[in-house]
Amino acid sequence: MDIAKRILYEDNHLIIVNKMAGEIVQGDKTGDVPLVETVKEYLKITYNKPGNVFCGLVHRIDRPVSGAVIFAKTSKALSRMNEIVKERKITKIYWALVEQSPHVPEQRLTDYLQRNEKANKTYVSHTEKPGFVKAELSYKILRQLTNYTLLEVELYTGRHHQIRAQLAANGTIIKGDLKYGAKRSNKDGSISLHSYKVEFEHPVSHKWVSVTAPLSGEMACLLG
C-alpha cells in the first residue's frame, strides 16, 4: 500500500505511520526494506529534498505487529521525543486478540523480563531476579468473540516482546503468536497485536497529539 495513504499524522517535526504486519521498522539481517527507509524516500520525493533525509525512529514495534509508529523529521524533535518516552509522558495503547479470556477482566501486570537475544525471545519472572528488568502494563477486556477475546493494553515500559511475553505468562496468548505458545499461526503471518493509539504533548508546539491507527489484515476481518 502507498505510504502516503498510511500516514496518520504529519507536521514539520513528526510523522506517524500505520505499519503493516510483516514490515520491519529498522534494517535487519533479512535485507528487507525497512519502514524507516520507506518514510525517508517519501519525505525526499514529497518535499524535493536533496541528499540524505533525516528520519529518526522514536519507538519500535515487532515485525508481525501492526499499527502506529512515530518518526521524527528533525534531530531536535527526535531528542525531545526520546525524553518524552524516557519520562513515560507518552500513552501507548495496543489492541490484542488472545486465545483465552483472562480470569480478571481488568488488571495491571508487573513482571520482570529477561531477553534471550540468541532465541529472540523474552522470559518472564513474577518476582525480581538478577538480570531481569521490571515491566509494567495494564489490560482490560473490550470484546468477547466466539473463539477469542479482544483486550486493550496500555504499555508503561517498552521492553523487548513485552506485551507478548507478559500476556502469555498471564495465561492469555496472543492469536497467531507461535513463539509464545499460540495454537496456530495467522494466515497472513501476523500476530493479532496492533499499536492502536499514541498520545503525547507535541515536543515543539506543545499541543496535545492523539492518533489512532485503523486495523488491517486478519484483525480487521475478525473485528469487523
pLDDT band at 222 (very low <50, low <70, confident <90, very high): confident
Our separate counts of H helices and E strands in the chain read: 4, 11
Q: Does 2 score more than 90 pLDDT?
A: no
Q: Please state whether beta strands 14-19 and 149-155 pair in parallel, antiparallel, or not at all (unpaired).
A: unpaired
Beta-bridge partner residues of 144? 149
* Count of the separate structural domains present in the chain: 1
Q: What is the mean pLDDT of residues 18-47?
A: 91
Task: Supply the range of the domain harboring residue 106.
Answer: 3-223
CATH, residue 52? 3.30.2350.10
Calculate the average pLDDT of the chain.
95
Residue 27: what pLDDT?
A: 73
Q: What is the mean pLDDT of residues 42-63?
A: 93
Residue 146: what pLDDT?
A: 92
Q: Does 103 score more than 90 pLDDT?
A: yes
Query: Among candidates 92, 64, 66, 59, which has minimal Cα distance to 180?
Result: 64
Q: Does 144 score more than 90 pLDDT?
A: yes
* DSSP three-state, residue 118: coil
Contact 167, 140 (CB under 8 A): no
Q: Does 31 score more than 80 pLDDT?
A: no
Q: Does 32 score more than 90 pLDDT?
A: no
Residue 1: what pLDDT?
A: 60
Q: What is the mean pLDDT of residues 159-178?
A: 97
Q: What is the mean pLDDT of residues 159-181?
A: 97
Q: Does 28 score more than 80 pLDDT?
A: no
Residue 141: what pLDDT?
A: 98
**Would you tell me how many other CB atoms lie within 10 Å of the CB of residue 173?**
22
* DSSP three-state, residue 220: helix
